Structure 1
Amino acid sequence: MTIINKVIIIKIFLIFFIFLNISTLKAMNIKNSAVVFMYHKFGISKYPSTNVTIDQLDSHILELTKDKYSLQSLEYIVDTIINNGILPANTVGISIDDADKSFFTTAWPKFKENNIPVTLFVNTSTIAINNKNYLNWNQIRLLKNEGVSIGAHSHNHHHMPDLNIEEIKKEIETSNKVFLRELGEIPTLFAYPYGETNSKIIDLIKDYKFKVAFGQHSGVINETSNLYYLPRFSLNEKYGELARVKFAAQSKGLGIYDFIPVNPTPEENPPYIGFSLLDEKLSKSLDCFIFDSKGQVEKKIFKFNERIEIRLNRKLEKGRSRINCTTKGNDGYWRWFGHQFYL
């Protein structure tokens, strides 16, 4: 073998080795991140847990319309994830739950003026001509014509995991029939009332051909996210300060897989919680926090390379509880994963 041939072979080997390492590095990191914010009411101080003040809303819009963010529709975000596309840096989506009248009178004019795409999740039982607190169908049709996307949010806004399977089907089918009658189409996006679901409900949402479904737990959407339990950052008077919005909007996804328990309504209490990281280097600084109605739940975290196992020191209280896991990557960005349980 000549010296020239040896050099060529060595170069080919080096190129292959470099390519292999780059491919492995990309496989260890997510390529997409998207933050979705969720609002309910605007300027109605009587309900601080679901309301944001007008000043808060104005500060959010002023911040999120800066060039460093990319405001996109929820449809664009989920379609890009599903089709393995690439989202712009600092992609942000806006969603509204429950069709409160203050969205129509107060918030939408501001969003519209700033060309901000919005998805409105509607629970159909409250939409009536004489309901003083919620929109009517004429207003929803007007919003739709002006560019607002409409999503499904069940019919009666029940705690869906507390219903039997036939009652859940009725909730979905009744809502679908109303949408067909009033809008001529059934939404492709679904949001669980209170962010509560379980494996049976998720299977039904798939059976009824919804493209994705959203919860109400904090976290950043990425290609490893469960498409039928996507996170959203809930904003209200307490958790709607500008500093939190900035922090969330610039956070990145935490790529995870093999999350347990699979069912958001776990059968065991306390549940055994575990997941694996795409990038095991992030495990070193990773921390997780679990909260229920009593406050923070003490826990122990065990780290086995990319595998994270969490054991709680007590049972979770009945109702909603949440886990939030965060870590700071070498790129300087915070990465955030969240999940909600319902007992």
Structure 2
Amino acid sequence: MSDGPAPILMYHAVATDPEEATRALSVTPEAFAAQMAVIGALGRTPVTTADLAARWRSGRPLPERPVLITFDDGYEGVHRHALPVLARHGFPATLFVSTGWIRGAYDTGGGPDTMLDWGQVRELAAAGVEIGGHSHTHPQLDQLDDAALRHELIHCKEIVSDALGSVPASFAYPFGYSSRRVRRAVRETGYGQALVVGNDLARRRQGPYALRRVTVRRGTGPEEFERLVEGRAITRNFAGDRALTKGYALVRRARQVRRKAIRSRV
């Protein structure tokens, strides 16, 4: 049994011809099928986000060579293309839904591509896919005031609970952005664990509300994918991403300080 780091793979759309807005963070159905075959060939054991966090929280060891397969937003291709492959391998996964983007009664119309409907989300859940929260309208949560932040978290949770009859245990921050205030709000609104991006392996010491993931893109080739799953050369693969993330974080913090200053003068 394993108590070491775990790779958490972050997918978005699985599509042959995605919209331009989602192309870079999509994978083709053929690539996804090949990547799941690699996971099987490497002897990895997929677990859900809730299972990973529960084991680390309780001290129970993970299976040998664990891996997590996660999807953000709620694209229709997760049901059309990914679910049959997951079912063939018997792999569990986690889908984090932006509830305002899922087609149906709560749809805000903001989805950047063809999104799932609630019937498909229920079928995914019935097939063993953990359904987690990803906010309602997919904003940058650390840029919201407290009231708007809590609305995004609570409304998302209530909609998932109403649609599926079970309360979502896990959360993924839109864009991967969080802060101490956001993480505290996620915990206080009842989510048991949450995922950032970070492009690194997840480790118990990161804490249950800042578990890191690695990004799978349309340009992720077979050799790079195997390195990600095996935890090799991740720092080199994502060095540019980290520099951009740190730079943009400084810009966003400056914007937040400026907004607070403006509000205080009103």
* TM-score, structure 2 normalization: 0.82
List 4+ stretches of structure 1 deviating above 4 A: 289-293
Tell me, in whole angstroms, the C-alpha distance in 2 between the residues paired with 1:93 and 1:176: 22
Secondary structure of the residue aligned to 2:56 is helix
Of 71, 75, 98, which aligns to 2:50? 75
Aligned residue for 2:122? 141
Secondary structure of the residue aligned to 1:34 is coil
In the alignment, is the contact (CA less than 8 A) between 1:32 and 1:86 conserved in 2?
Answer: no
Aligned residue for 1:276? none
Secondary structure of the residue aligned to 1:157 is coil
Richer in helix (by share): 2
Aligned residue for 2:247? 317
* TM-score, structure 1 normalization: 0.64
In the alignment, is the contact (CA less than 8 A) between 2:76 and 2:114 conserved in 1?
Answer: yes
Aligned residue for 2:96? 121
Aligned residue for 1:39? 11
Q: Per the alignment, do residues 55 and 171 of structure 1 end up closer, same or farther by CA in structure 2, a change over 3 Å counting?
A: same
Q: Per the alignment, do residues 221 and 122 of structure 1 end up closer, same or farther by CA in structure 2, a change over 3 Å counting?
A: same
Tell me, in whole angstroms, the C-alpha distance in 2 between the residues paired with 1:64 and 1:206: 32
1:71-120 deviation per Cα after TM superposition (whole angstroms, max 9, x unaligned):
22222222111111222332111011111011111111111111110111
1:96 is aligned to 2:77: no
| Aligned-partner residue type, residue 101 of structure 1 | E
1:320 shift after superposition: 7.9
Q: Per the alignment, do residues 138 and 196 of structure 1 end up closer, same or farther by CA in structure 2, a change over 3 Å counting?
A: same
Q: Give 5+ residue unaligned stretches, structure 2.
A: 255-266
Secondary structure of the residue aligned to 2:228 is helix
Secondary structure of the residue aligned to 1:317 is helix
1:220 shift after superposition: 1.2
1:204-224 deviation per Cα after TM superposition (whole angstroms, max 9, x unaligned):
111112111001221112221
Tell me, in whole angstroms, the C-alpha distance in 2 between the residues paired with 1:146 and 1:69: 20
Alignment coverage as a number of residue pairs: 243
Aligned residue for 1:204? 185
Of 81, 91, 97, which aligns to 1:106? 81
Q: Which has the higher contact order (CA 8 A, sep 6+)?
A: 2
1:144-199 deviation per Cα after TM superposition (whole angstroms, max 9, x unaligned):
11211100001000011111111101111211221222122220100000000111
Tell me, in whole angstroms, the C-alpha distance in 1 between the residues paired with 2:75 and 2:32: 15
Q: Give 5+ residue unaligned stretches, structure 1.
A: 1-29, 253-285, 298-315, 322-340
Of 195, 211, 217, which aligns to 1:236? 217
1:48 shift after superposition: 2.5
1:248 is aligned to 2:223: no
1:128 shift after superposition: 2.0
1:272-328 deviation per Cα after TM superposition (whole angstroms, max 9, x unaligned):
xxxxxxxxxxxxxx99x86469x679xxxxxxxxxxxxxxxxxx533489xxxxxxx
1:206-258 deviation per Cα after TM superposition (whole angstroms, max 9, x unaligned):
111211100122111222122111111111112x2121221122228xxxxxx
Aligned residue for 1:193? 174
1:224 is aligned to 2:196: no
Higher CA-based Rg? 1
Tell me, in whole angstroms, the C-alpha distance in 1 between the residues paired with 2:250 and 2:85: 33
Richer in strand (by share): 1
Tell me, in whole angstroms, the C-alpha distance in 2 between the residues paired with 1:106 and 1:342: 38
Secondary structure of the residue aligned to 1:318 is helix
